[in-house]
Structure 1
Amino acid sequence: MAKYDLTKTISRYLDRHLVVPLLEYLSVKSIYDGDSILRSKLDLLMETSMVDFTCLTYKLLHNVDDVPEELIKKRQDTLDLIRVMEEKMAPIDKIFSTETMKEMVQCKVAKELFQNLEAKYGFKPDMLDDMFEAARVFYDSGLYDTASDYLRIIRQLVSSTDKRHLHACWGRLAAEILVQNWDEALDDVEKLKDAIDCQSDDRLRPSAETYLFQLQQRTWLLHWSLFVFFNHVQGKEKLIDFFLNNPNHLNAIQTLTPHLLRYLAVCVVVSNDKRKKNQLREVVHLIQQESYCYKDPITEFLECLYVKFDFDGAQQQLKICETVIPNDFFLTGCYEDFMENGRLLMFETFCRIHNCVGIKMLAEKLNMNVDDAESWIVNLIRNAEMDAKIDSKKGLVFMGTHTVSPYQQVVEKTINGAFTAHKLLDRLKSSKLDAEAWNATSRA
């Protein structure tokens, strides 16, 4: 299903090191030719200093035991550079001992911390540049843990208005993703978000340029965050909040990256949050708005179900999702939950329209055989997820009537009204910022 594969689209917004895991995943799938994946991986790795990995990929692609002389030379040059950096960083490593790191945790002000290190340990400003260069060398060579340690220190030593702070935040997040340290990576996502937001305080950059710069940075952050949200234990719920409830991020999705609606839609469908009904309504509205420029089986499933009430169309799209989701690097772990919740959403919507439904008809709509469909419905009733009765002899499901008290209706409408008003205000603010940025750019 190369038609629905987003790897190429998403890779445009990723660091080359982050693209490697995506290509590794595709190599075990049958979406593309194996040699084309290896060739892409080799081209990517040639731009890094991960020479051993590059040599291995070269051998696999060309089916040889030896590699070109240039790769052998590059490997030696890389090892020499790492050795030089390790020697250069030895005095700095002594400064940042365990005791020093404890002091750094206690001191939150970058300028004050820098002055303390300078007075107490003789730390010099040029050492900070050396640390930055060392972090770059180690990261490019695939030594992500070492790079991450230096970047964490740099991030704490420079103020949020210093461009090195933003660069350190990006490098630290990438390194933590690549070593699969998801708790730290989740914290780094928040720190990077704050660092991007702080760019608006930069008086040297015109407002239009600031706005466009932040838009580009947030677009990249949304893509990088997929690694974290789909691997962290609480990630899917946090993705909904990060994408849907942050007006800046929502604006970035609608402006530049509507394909990210795929991931937001999946997270909402599999969510167990009590706000799921409102979240679904909001996501369906977004999908409907952006359907002119982006569609896939996941977004079309929700559009068919909640906008068109086309159950046959929803059934067809859910069937295609059986192939699309396992082939998506980020979504493969959501397959079972999505299919189960997708069937449940179809069933709930169908039964909201009909008081009595044939089990055979339901089985067809849910892409299940009759026996499995009946067992599935029995389990729903047993787990108190629905009010219904089954007549097995007639093969019918009778839906119970659910009466909502006037008080509960008022509460729900008030909550929905407040939610809608809040979203409308956010959109008006975004529209105003867009207009100001456009006018400033036009005048320039």
Structure 2
Amino acid sequence: MSELSNSELETARKYDLTQKVIPFLDRHLIYPVLESLRADDLYDDEVITQLTFDLFKETNMTQFVKDQWEILNPGKPIPNDIITKEAKVDEIFNKLNNDTKETLDILNLQEVQDHLKQDKQFNREYLEKNHGITEAKINSLYEFGQFQYNRGDYVMASDLLSNFRVLSTDTDLIISATWGKLASEIIRLEWDSSLKELSKLREVIDSRSFANPLTQLHHRTWIIHWSLFPFFNIENGLDQLLDLFFSSSYLSTIQAASPWILRYLVAAVVASENSSNSSNSTKSLNNLSNPTFQKRLKDLIRVVNQEQYEYNDPLTDFIKALYIDYDFQEANSKLLEASIILRSDFFLANIADSFLENARHLISEVYCRVHQRINLQELSKSLNLTNEEGEKWIASLIKETKMDAKIDESEGTVLLNHPNTSVYQQVIEKTKGLSFKANQILATALQKQDNVQ
């Protein structure tokens, strides 16, 4: 990330969502978010180190905790409770390792793997009868997997939890193991594996038989936050994010429990690209006339309008200014602020360029829809382009969106023929319609009142 100026740092801090998202993330997932704040200089380095120490002091990562203590307290002896815990962690590790070694060795035997089937009950009976693997030994795999995760050995944790799920029939522990495996895969940057685990969780949590509505809401909120990690780091991830977040149950969850996620919904809609094979100059233009993009944009405008009093930031304000208020000056102002957030937000850095490129196309597209005569110099200036770049830009826009328009190079203008009324006129007509209906209702009510009297 490029270095932010002091004023940009103020903006980044003002709209930092770290305190919002932390309650919905596992502490191990919070760590990379904190490190990004350190890298961006959003907060004092010592503050981040202290937060990191507080975050991990209750885990089994005793060496890491010792390192953080020494950074915070140079020259001071490490507290006895940390030393004592380190010895205790080693003791528990040796016990759990011994408890699970035989089970893991048996499960790794080829003859055993050949006998195992999809039927868990058959597998459990076979393993207990022929190899003495009891319910307690199966649960030891879960316990050791959880221990290894808290110890920072995410590879071993993932393997142990996978083996546990193959054999266990305890629904609650299986769900817990899946959360643990998902977190392990995210931390290891194994995005394909993390998406598979995410899918397994959704299948269980979205079922009608899952717990009560409040618990279901809680789990969906966690899924929404955890899914940001893979969705913003894989090809076609934005489309998958939008499919999930725009689904009725998850959109309701966002509105009810985590309205700040609207930032990521706006970012994904604007930055989403319809064709990965087209050139950068036409990618977003292809999207403008794409029905899926238009449907998502329409839904986004509606949600942003509904939630503007619950949550707003420069990204949501950009949508409001452009599509609700038709305030192009405000839209450009919010876009400048949004560019700072895109560079400083842990999840959005990868899509910053796509967002800004597409946002400019959206501004110019709406601008053309509203006006019948456009000054190319003014439009180019508002988009931070040279006159030549602006002319090429508008030519591409006209071609891709099939607008009835003509560029007058000598006058430096674009003339647009809108077969339908302008956006302003549409608003006026809708207002007239609502006023007419209101008068009808009022007249009917007054007539009924006269009849009663």
TM-score, length basis structure 1:
0.81
Q: How far is 1:168 from its partner? A: 1.1
Cα displacement string for residues 84-141 of structure 1 (whole angstroms, at most 9, x for unaligned residues): 322222101112216378559x733332332333334332110122111101110000
Structure-to-structure mapping, 1:142-291, within 5 angstroms: 142-159=152-169, 162-198=171-207, 200-201=208-209, 210-245=212-247, 247-273=248-274, 274=290, 275-291=292-308
Structure-to-structure mapping, 1:136-147, within 5 angstroms: 136-147=146-157
CA distance in structure 2 between the aligned counterparts of 1:371 and 1:96, rounded to whole angstroms = 68
Partner of 2:20: 9
Could you tell me which amino acid in structure 2 is paired with residue 348 of structure 1? E
Structure-to-structure mapping, 1:100-119, within 5 angstroms: 103=114, 107-119=117-129
Q: How far is 1:361 from its partner? A: 1.3
1:52 to 2:63 alignment? yes
For the 8 Å contact 1:355–1:398, the answer to whether it is kept is: yes
| CA shift in 2, pair 1:99/1:233, >3 Å | farther
Tell me the secondary structure at the aligned position of residue 338 of structure 1. helix
Tell me the secondary structure at the aligned position of residue 53 of structure 2. helix
For the 8 Å contact 1:165–1:195, the answer to whether it is kept is: no
Tell me the secondary structure at the aligned position of residue 344 of structure 2. coil
For the 8 Å contact 2:373–2:416, the answer to whether it is kept is: yes
For the 8 Å contact 1:111–1:158, the answer to whether it is kept is: no
Choose 72-81 or 275-284, whichever is displaced more. Answer: 72-81
For the 8 Å contact 1:302–1:314, the answer to whether it is kept is: yes
Partner of 1:420: none
CA distance in structure 1 between the aligned counterparts of 2:402 and 2:110, rounded to whole angstroms = 58
Cα displacement string for residues 145-173 of structure 1 (whole angstroms, at most 9, x for unaligned residues): 111111122223234x7211111111111
Q: How far is 1:66 from its partner? A: 5.9
Could you tell me which amino acid in structure 2 is paired with residue 306 of structure 1? Y
Cα displacement string for residues 392-435 of structure 1 (whole angstroms, at most 9, x for unaligned residues): 443323447799xxxxxxxxxxxxxxxxxxxxxxxxxxxxxxxx
Could you tell me which amino acid in structure 2 is paired with residue 264 of structure 1? L
Could you tell me which amino acid in structure 1 is paired with residue 362 of structure 2? L
Cα displacement string for residues 197-240 of structure 1 (whole angstroms, at most 9, x for unaligned residues): 34x426xx6xxxx1111111111111111112111222111000
1:82 to 2:84 alignment? no
* Coordinate RMSD, CA, aligned: 2.5
1:24 to 2:32 alignment? no
Structure-to-structure mapping, 1:361-400, within 5 angstroms: 361-377=378-394, 384=400, 390-399=407-416
Count residues with an aligned counterpart.
392
CA distance in structure 2 between the aligned counterparts of 1:19 and 1:362, rounded to whole angstroms = 42
Tell me the secondary structure at the aligned position of residue 374 of structure 2. strand
Partner of 1:323: 340
Q: How far is 1:23 from its partner? A: 0.3
CA distance in structure 2 between the aligned counterparts of 1:98 and 1:21, rounded to whole angstroms = 38
Which 5+ residue runs of structure 1 have no aligned equivalent?
404-444
TM-score, length basis structure 2:
0.80
Cα displacement string for residues 158-193 of structure 1 (whole angstroms, at most 9, x for unaligned residues): 34x721111111111111111111001001001011
CA distance in structure 2 between the aligned counterparts of 1:130 and 1:352, rounded to whole angstroms = 65
Which of the two has higher C-alpha Rg? Answer: 2
